[in-house]
Amino acid sequence: MTPLSAMTIRVLPEQLVHQIAAGEVVERPASVIKELVENSLDAGALAIDIEVEKGGAELCRVRDDGMGIAADELLLALARHATSKIGSIDDLEAVRTLGFRGEALPSIASVARMRMISRPRAAETAHMVAAVDGALTGPAPHPHPPGTTVEVRDLFFNVPARRKFLRSERTELAQIERLVERLALSRFDVGFRLSSSRKVLADHPPARDERARDARVAAMLGDDFIANAMKLDYEGSGLRLHGWFCLPTYARSQADQQYFFLNGRPLRDKLIASAVRLAYRDVLFHGRHPAYVLFLEMDPPRVDVNAHPQKLEVRFREPGLIHDFLFRTLERALAETRPTQSAAAAIPAARADWSLARSGFPTNPYPLSPDPSSAAGQQVSATDLPCSR
């Protein structure tokens, strides 16, 4: 190793800067797919087609029908810190898109061979740019329907140390499949298709009604999950919690069916895990884990999503309130499922609440309740699923 005294300070070449940044966001093929699909979702896509070869190491291709990128901005999209999603610190605090750091595309392009073809909805023609080993080419006209395709080949071809860390093709593919499940659970209105070497592994058409959403959940978590699931939709303190939670009798030996989304973003967060555990504490045997697919929604400024490079963790501005809301809402919903309650009394009430709660949501997702402490006291709505399929 060179002794420190012999080192000179220098500014790193741009390609190396990108590669260092890539270390944070691009761990494996699944992280490439995650970034590309999030871009498609941010672009308003309603159909997303994902193709991989060799567990994604050879090829990751994501095609969408989103808003597209203008020809004169295609190269810019590959530049570091270039984003269309925020322009000021205020935008950052209120950000609703999944991306905003402007890092994914340049990072991926620095550790793989990338082609991006895009056509804005209003444009007559599509254009392509390519990035190979730091050299950018294009934009050149290229046939493509409205929307965007990003193709990433030979991941880590120029970073042998990273390439060595890739697991077997099967393992990498399994990671991608799990990721696509999470993404598909986060957006029922969007169609997702995943194929590997032209074989379709998952095909989820847009799920526009209750039954279709149940079917999508069942396709991923199994019929047993949905047969043992209760639905919940509750709003208070400007927070909304909705989704599926399983009866304690369906508890699992592993925490493998726990999906939590905050404003459409998959989240693994200690605060949330703790609130859920607390809600189930009296009804679960020791060592058993609840299963759920839950969505929490709140006004974006109430949470700082810029706390983790892959955005898996967030910082809540009112952690105590959020914890309390989750815990009490779920605990209440669980209490309503108890067999000790008179079924005749409990179920119709729950049903009535459910339909009331539902009808209020589509118009205004974030009404603020006047008294934040009132969340705990209000009625929780849970239906008496099993959901019919």
Ligand X SMILES: Nc1ncnc2c1ncn2[C@@H]1O[C@H](COP(=O)(O)OP(=O)(O)O)[C@@H](O)[C@H]1O
Residues forming contacts to Mg ion in the complex (CB under 5 A) are 39, 99, 104
Q: Which does 77 bind (CB under 5 to 8 A by kind): ligand X, Mg ion, none?
A: ligand X
Q: x/- binding map, residues 116-135, to ligand X, per CB under 6 A?
A: --------------------
Question: Is-contact 77 127, C-beta < 8 A?
Answer: no
Q: How far is the CB of 81 from ligand X (least distance, A)?
A: 9
The DSSP line for 101-121 is: SS-HHHHHHHSSEEEEEEE-T
CB of 156 to ligand X, least distance (A): 18
| 362 cis-preceded (ω within 30 degrees of 0) | no
Residue from 57, 59, 104, 296 that binds ligand X (CB under 6 A)? 104
Residue 56 touches ligand X, criterion: CB under 6 A: no
Q: Minimum CB separation from ligand X for residue 107, in Å? A: 8
Euclidean distance between CA atoms 141 and 134, whole angstroms: 21
Q: Count of CB atoms within 10 A of residue 289's CB?
A: 17
Residue 320: which residues within 8 A CB-CB, separation 6 or more?
none
Alpha-carbon radius of gyration of the chain:
23
By CB under 6 A, which span of 67-75, 161-169, 302-310, 330-338 interacts with ligand X?
Answer: 67-75
113, two tokens: 């061979």
Question: How many residues belong to the site for ligand X (CB under 6 A)?
Answer: 22
Out of 49, 51, 53, 64, name the contact with ligand X by CB under 6 A: 64
Q: Which does 128 bind (CB under 5 to 8 A by kind): ligand X, Mg ion, none?
A: none
Q: Of the ranges 66-74, 87-95, 212-220, 228-236, which one interacts with ligand X (CB under 6 A)? A: 66-74
Site for ligand X in 8-47 (CB under 6 A): 35, 39-40, 43
> Which 149-208 positions form the footprint of ligand X (CB under 6 A)?
none
DSSP string, 355-378: HHHHHHTTT-S-PPPS-GGGGGTS
Sole residue written with tokens 């099993």: 386
Candidates 59-67, 204-212, 298-306, 358-366; binding stretch for ligand X (CB under 6 A):
59-67
Judged by CB under 6 A, does residue 77 bind ligand X?
yes
Of 195 and 306, the one with the shorter C-beta distance to ligand X is 306
CA 22 to each of CA 54, 102, 138: distance values in angstroms, whole numbers, following the listed order: 21, 12, 23
CB of 116 to ligand X, least distance (A): 7
Q: From the list Mg ion, ligand X, none, pick the one residue 236 interacts with, judged by a Cβ distance below 5 to 8 Å according to partner type.
A: none
Residue 95: closest CA among 332, 380, 303, 346:
303
Q: Is 220 in the site for ligand X (CB under 6 A)?
A: no
SS3 249: helix
- d(CA 67, CA 40) in angstroms, rounded, equals 9
Query: Which residues here bind ligand X, judged by CB under 6 A?
Result: 35, 39-40, 43, 64, 66-69, 77, 82-85, 99-105, 148
